[in-house]
């Protein structure tokens, strides 16, 4: 019978607890905006004719039922994706919730993309408000969740564990 001292058990437990987190971390799947659309649905099938507001020089797209179709593979997936920030909750510390969009100005200067092209992101660590126009990488757990915000309807929810500047 092997005897292990209490001191040895405590020392071993403490050493295990201090292992580098990187060794234990999951590797995210890097995705693009095309991956948000389910297989078999092309982007051109999402947008119908739409209407033109001639007075305001504004085109308002009309989305069909495909605009809310989400990629089932991404529900619960641990991912990393690039995009731009449209702030929802902004404090002096930075942004803690936002809509991740595929291009600069989406939802602000143009009609919003379809729901399956918008990701609602929450983060514990605020992203600095002086970097709002920069492209970012967001890493975290993704879920399907259609929700309506004051800016647009989103199809995905991403709980960000890590955010970093996107480097070209």
Q: In the chain, where are the structural domains located?
A: 25-165
pLDDT of 43 above 80: no
More confident residue, 20 or 51: 51
pTM of the predicted model, to two decimals? 0.79
SS3 of 40, please?
A: coil
At residue 45 the predicted structure's pLDDT band, cuts being 50, 70 and 90, is: confident
Q: Which CATH architecture group holds 25-165?
A: Beta Barrel (2.40)
More confident residue, 133 or 159: 159
Give the whole-angstrom CA distance, residue 103 versus residue 22.
31
pLDDT of 2 above 80: no
Find how far residue 58's CA is from the centre of its chain: 28
Find how far residue 84's CA is from the centre of its chain: 10
Give the whole-angstrom CA distance, residue 93 versus residue 89.
11
The whole-number pLDDT of residue 48 equals: 66
Average pLDDT along the chain: 83
pLDDT of 9 above 70: no
pLDDT of 25 above 70: no
More confident residue, 1 or 109: 109
Length of the chain: 168
CB atoms within 10 A of CB 145: 14
Closest CA to 79 of 142, 132, 137: 142
Closest CA to 120 of 80, 93, 147: 147
pLDDT of 105 above 90: no
The whole-number pLDDT of residue 125 equals: 94
At residue 102 the predicted structure's pLDDT band, cuts being 50, 70 and 90, is: very high
């Amino acid at each position: 019978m092997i005897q292990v001292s209490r001191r040895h058990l405590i020392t071993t437990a403490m050493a295990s607890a201090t292992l580098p987190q990187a060794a234990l971390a999951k590797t995210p799947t890097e995705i693009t905006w095309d991956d948000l659309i389910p297989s078999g649905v092309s982007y051109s099938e999402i947008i119908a004719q739409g209407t033109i507001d001639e007075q305001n020089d504004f085109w308002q797209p009309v989305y069909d039922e495909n605009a809310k179709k989400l990629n089932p593979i991404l529900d619960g997936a641990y991912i990393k994706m690039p995009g731009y920030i449209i702030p929802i909750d902004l404090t002096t510390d930075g942004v803690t919730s936002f809509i991740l969009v595929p291009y600069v100005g989406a939802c602000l200067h143009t009609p919003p993309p379809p729901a399956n092209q918008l990701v609602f992101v929450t983060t514990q660590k605020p992203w600095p408000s002086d970097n709002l126009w920069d492209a970012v990488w967001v890493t975290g757990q993704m879920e399907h969740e259609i929700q309506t915000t004051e800016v647009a309807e989103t199809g995905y929810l991403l709980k960000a564990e890590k955010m970093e500047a996107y480097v070209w």
